[in-house]
Amino acid sequence: MNNEILTLRTEIDNLDKELLQLLEERFVLTKEVGEIKKSEKIQIKDNKREEQLFESRISQTTLNEKFVTKLFSTILEESRRLQSI
């Protein structure tokens, strides 16, 4: 296979690893938020926060808006799951 492709794929693999590590860090913080919400009897889902998050993330990138929305919908779904356990 072409060496340039192999090099690029290695870079992609490294970025994927970084993305996963960042998500792990994010979810640690998410769990902490969930613990605070439980102790203060705050509802897990915060529609206003989620709406602001979508708007903010979409405005921070040139990536396709639907993709960003789908990506963060998945991240938020997992965040809510983690906050509820």
Residue of 76, 70, 85, 71 lying closest to 45 (CA atoms) = 76
Q: Please state the rounded mean pLDDT for residues 29-50.
A: 97
pLDDT digits (tens, 9 = 90+) for 57-74: 999 999 999 999 999 999
CATH code (residue 20): 1.20.59.10
Q: Give the domain extent around 66.
A: 3-83
Cβ contact 72:20 at 8 Å: no
Cβ contact 38:82 at 8 Å: no
Q: Please state the rounded mean pLDDT for residues 31-53.
A: 97
Query: Over 90: is that where the pLDDT of 1 sits?
Result: no
Listing DSSP states for 25-65 in one string gives HHHHHHHHHHHHHHHTT--S--HHHHHHHHHHHHHT--S-H
The four Cα atoms 58, 62, 67, 69 give a dihedral, to 10 degrees, of 0
Give the pLDDT of residue 22.
98
Residue 80, CA atoms < 13 Å, CB-side half-sphere: 12
Provide the number of structural domains found in the chain.
1
Q: How confident is the model at residue 28 (pLDDT cuts 50, 70, 90)?
A: very high
Percent residues over pLDDT 90 in the chain: 98
Give the pLDDT of residue 63.
98
Rounded to an integer, what distance in angstroms lies between the CA atom of residue 57 and that of residue 49? 12
